Amino acid sequence: MFHALISKRTLGRLLRVTGIDALLVRVVNGKRPSIIVYHDPNPLMFKEILAYIQRHYSIVSIDRLVKSLRSGQLKSLPSRAIAITLDDGHNGNFALAAILKGIDAETTIYLCSQIAGTERGFWWSALDDPEPLKLISNNARLAALRDLGFYEDHDMGSEHRQALSKHEIRIMSEFVDFGAHTRFHPILPMCDELTARAEIDLAVSEVEELSGQPCQHFAYPNGDVSERDRVLVQESGYESARTVNPGWVRPSTDSFMLPIVSMDEVVVDRLVVDLSGIGVLKRSVVSWIRRSRKRKGSQGRSWWMRSGD
């Protein structure tokens, strides 16, 4: 594949210099809404990314996108519609407040409802490599974390706070839509049904209490979802759920399996490749290969592979 022969950054720069990126925006993305994901981006880099998006795309909220999808009216969205989302609710997100306030459409931040507004930490912060713990049962993961001295419901002290505070959330709720990302960010397919149901269902009221606004949208932690989890989210009354599966939103898209085109890409030239469709094609192939090797029965897990600089 040509993309494999040169770096993603170089390819993106080539697309921009030649103006092909603008052509691809019109041809590839013109009528297919996109969703992008960030976690804890650097504000200066995020501002540069946003400037590029605003020049070439029409930013819409997840809520508007989902309402259009569920009503069969995707064509009512502006051409080159794109929704911006952030996962987890990191305390660094508050540094984006002025930037997000300047966007015409609401950004959605998916909160972990028992970490946001507290002095607790995100479980993966206790590990150098959290990936192995994502592949074992939830009880085994929690036991391994306890062996390291980490307890998901213990405060770490204000100086170690990792998530948005209640005060910050209330300030941002004036221009940000807050959705749910479970309570403690477990890997849902690795949970028993009782735990998964509680993580999904209880997060609704907890996010609403934090933000003072309705909680209508959900994002699967790590993008991992089984059919059981999808059903639990729907039964809990959410309007949508976002995965990290690569692709665009189409009329046939399941509103509880929303795909994305890019994750955590803060270099404009690399984002250009994602938005062009080249990145989606690569990730679709990689996702299929990885799932066929490692899923063994679960559905919906995506493995996000990124090329080097």
Residue 34: CA atoms inside 13 Å, Cβ hemisphere, count?
A: 28
Q: Which two tokens stand for residue 269?
A: 């030239």
Q: Which two tokens stand for residue 263?
A: 């994750």
pLDDT tens for 144-191 read 999 999 999 999 988 899 999 999 999 999 999 999 999 999 999 999
Q: Which residues pair with 53 in a beta bridge?
A: none
Give burial (CB, 10 Å; 0-12/13-18/19+) of 56: middle
- Could you say which of 3.40.50.620, 3.30.200.20, 3.20.20.370, 3.40.50.1370 is the CATH number of the domain covering 2-294? 3.20.20.370
- Residue 300 has a pLDDT of 47
Give burial (CB, 10 Å; 0-12/13-18/19+) of 14: middle
Give 129-194 as a DSSP string. Answer: --GGGGGS-HHHHHHHHHHTT--TTS---GGG--B--HHHHHHHTTTEEEEE--SS---GGGS-HH
pLDDT tens for 33-46 read 999 999 999 999 99
- Residue 256 has a pLDDT of 98
Which run of H or E residues covers position 245?
Answer: strand 240-246
Centre a 10 Å sphere on the Cβ of residue 129 and count the other Cβ atoms it contains: 7
Contact 104, 54 (CB under 8 A): no
Query: How long is the chain?
Result: 309
Q: Indicate the residue type of 137.
A: S
Q: Which residues of 279-309 are buried (b: 16+ CB within 10 A; e: fewer)?
A: bbebbeebbeebbeeeeeebebbbbbebbee
Give burial (CB, 10 Å; 0-12/13-18/19+) of 149: exposed
The answer for residues whose C-beta is within 8 angstroms of residue 137's C-beta and 6 or more apart is: 190
Q: Which residues pair with 241 in a beta bridge?
A: 218
Q: State the 10-residue block means of pLDDT for the chain, 309 residues long.
A: 58 65 63 94 96 93 98 94 98 97 96 98 96 97 97 92 97 98 98 98 98 98 98 98 95 97 90 77 62 55 38
Instruction: Give residue for tokens 């479970």.
Output: 182
